[in-house]
Structure 1
Amino acid sequence: MALDIRLARIDDRLIHGQVATVWSRAVGIDRILVANDEAANDELRKLLLKQATPPSIKSHVITKQKLLELYQNRLFDEMKVMLLFVSPQDVLEVVQAGVGLKSVNIGGMRFTEGKKMITNFISVNEDDIQAFAKLAARGIELEIRQVPADRKIDLMQLIKKEKRLHP
């Protein structure tokens, strides 16, 4: 046994209204774990993320290393969690270190210099694509949905289509 991971999601906004309420209800969690080293070391950001969490759910902003420790700790076997990540690189790092994921939901990766928009909410660069490809090679489903009611879109199919459109 390990943590009962009900949802692993990449969303660079981390905890916000949509994630905190709709997803947490849909997947039946009692805890949100934000696994991000920068946020974990920023007291103000931690406070703001905790304030965005619904009252019925506990949230913790932790380093990726702390996530690995919790994942392997039998005390937390029954904990129903949503894992939130900023990037596919963070997800790949914890998966390579032993965190078992079957699926990753991609909710939002904002556009910045050097990235290409593949949906209205998701922009990727070559590093992101490489990390996603490594996750997919491990058999991890990579699906895009803003909210649970949306139809699942296969991220890798979208990336392949984009590469054909823009050689």
Structure 2
Amino acid sequence: MEISFVRIDDRLIHGQVATIWTKTSKCNRIMACSDEVAKDDLRKTLLLQVAPPEIKAYVLTIDKAIDAYKNPKYDSFKTLFLFTNPKDVVRMVKAGVPIKSVNVGGMCYKEGKIQITSAVSVSEEDIDAFKTLNEKGIELELRQVASENKVSLMSRLDSLKLI
């Protein structure tokens, strides 16, 4: 399986992903990876309905996504991986999935989080996960839409004195 793009966006599949990121990444598959969402039949159904008709989409637990990546029967997949949080990306990487770059596009504000851009808010747990990914040499970039310039997530966290 080829990894065409990896994005953290707590909305997973939505208009921007379906219309822009699928074209930019040239993927032929979307894997929305979330234990929580994979157990929620309504949310899973809604997500699959907004995927572009020409691209097969899946909503999988993290473990099933790892298994799919490692399964040679999916070698023809050019996959856009979507996650709701960086902790799940760390799980994939620790399981041997060779992620090289992560686009951070949307993490909504909740109590206990700090807003670092108009679309991204992070908790201490998120920051720890991003540090782990950074230590593994994985590029972490902030960008809501493909036309924006990449901004280093770690530089942003550093400028806000969060790391």
Which bin holds the TM-score, normalised by the shorter protein?
over 0.9
Equivalent residue in structure 1 for 2:133, among 115, 122, 135: 135
* 1:46 corresponds to: 44
TM-score (norm 2): 0.97
Partner of 2:26: 28
Q: CA RMSD in A?
A: 1.1
Gaps of 5+ in 1: none
Quote how far apart the aligned CAs of 1:121 are.
0.3
Counterpart code for 2:127 = I
Question: 1:56 maps to which residue?
Answer: 54
Separation in 1 of the partners of 2:103 and 2:143?
A: 7
1:163 — aligned with what? 161
Q: Measure the CA separation in 1 of the matches of 2:60 and 2:120.
A: 24
How much has 1:149 moved relative to structure 2? Answer: 1.2
Code of the aligned partner of 2:114:
K
Report how many aligned residue pairs link the two structures.
163
Match of 2:9 in 1: 11
- Return the letter of the residue paired with 2:94: Q
Give the TM-score normalised by structure 1.
Answer: 0.95
Cα shift at 1:117: 0.4
Q: Which runs of 5+ in 2 are unaligned?
A: none
Distance, in Å, in 1 between the alignment partners of 2:124 and 2:44 is: 29
1:147 is matched with 145
Identical-pair percentage? 48
Residue 142 of structure 2 aligns to which amino acid in structure 1?
A: I
